[in-house]
Amino acid sequence: MEYVLTADSLTKKYRQFKALDHLSLHIPKGAIYGMVGKNGAGKTTLIRVICGLQDATEGEYILYGKKNTDKDIHKSRRRMGAVVETPSIYLGMTAEENLKEQYRILGMPSFEGIKELLELAGLEDTGKKKAKHFSLGMRQRLGIAIALCGQPDFLVLDEPVNGLDPQGIIEIRELILKLNREQNITFLISSHILDELSRLATHYGFVDGGRMVKELSAKELEEACRKCVRVEVSDVKALSRVLDQMGLDYNVVSHTQADIFARVNLTELIHALDHENCQVLTASERDESLEGYFISLIGGANHE
C-alpha cells in the first residue's frame, strides 16, 4: 500500500508533559483519514508537527517519501494544504482578494484558477462582501479554498465542522467528498464530532494520551461495530458450547455476557441452554456506534 504520510514513534515534549508519546500512524494515498480523540489527546499537536509549525522532540515522519529531517522536506510540504484550528483568512478582504493574497504568498505567477476555486467552495457569488460578514460555514469553505491554492494533493483539516450549523456541516462534508472522489485528494481530518466523521472517513486513527491506540479501515470498523444480540446468562461457558454447536459467530464480553452476530431464534437457544443447566437472564439488540466503539476502546469512564 502506498502511503502519503507515516509517522514512527513521534514524541513532542513540553518540559515534563508529553503531548505526543511515541505516536505512529499510516495514511494511505487517496484516503480520508479520520483522527479521533478527546480534547487534549494530542491531535492538534500532531497536525502542527507534520505541517512544520513545530518540531518533534523524538521520532520521525515521512511525507511523500521524504523524512522530516531531510533538507528538501519543504518540497513534500508544497503538496500539502492545511486549515489548523481556525481558517487563516483576512476578514477585511473579499473571498477573491483572500485567494489572490495566498497566490502572492506562494509566489504563483498568475491568478489562474481562482475563479474555479471560488466555484468549488461555493463562494463565486460573494462579490465584494468582506469575509468578516461571512457565516462560519462560508469562512471554513474559504479556508479550504485557500489551502487548495498551489494545487496540493494532501489536505489536513483540524476540526473542520466545529461550531457549524447543520447546513454548514453538510456543505463541508460534500466539499470534502467531492475533492476526494473527483481530484483524489488525500485528507487527514481531526474531529470530535464522531457521527459526522463516520459519514466521511475511509480510515481511522484513535488517539489518546498522545498515543495511537488503534488504526483501522472503515470496513474493519464496520465489522467491529456490526449489529449483534447481547445475551446475559448464568454460565457463559455453557453458552459458548451451545453457540459452537449451533455454528453461530459470537464474542464473549464478560463472565456472564456474549455478543451473538447472527439472527437468533431465542426459543431454540433457551431450550438448548436449559439442557446445559444455564439460564438466559437478558437479551437485547445492539448496534455499536463509532462513539461507542471509541469509548470502549479508550476505557470510557476513565476518559470523561
- Check: CB of residue 185 under 8 Å from CB of residue 179: yes
pLDDT at 267: 92
- Check: CB of residue 196 under 8 Å from CB of residue 177: no
pLDDT at 170: 93
Nearest CA among 30, 176, 151 for reference residue 80: 151
Q: What is the pLDDT of residues 30-43, one digit of tens each?
A: 999 999 988 889 99
Give the Cα separation of 39 and 66 in Å (integer). Answer: 30
| C-alpha 112: how far from chain center | 32
pLDDT at 304: 37
Question: Which residues partner with 140 through β-bridges?
Answer: none
Mutual angle of helices 136-147 and 166-183, in 10-degree steps: 20
Give the Cα separation of 140 and 143 in Å (integer). Answer: 5
Give the HSE-up count for residue 71: Cα atoms under 13 Å, Cβ half-sphere: 0
- Check: CB of residue 263 under 8 Å from CB of residue 271: no
pLDDT at 299: 66
- Name residues of the chain where pLDDT drops below 50: 300-304
pLDDT at 192: 80
Give the Cα separation of 142 and 117 in Å (integer). Answer: 9
pLDDT at 303: 40
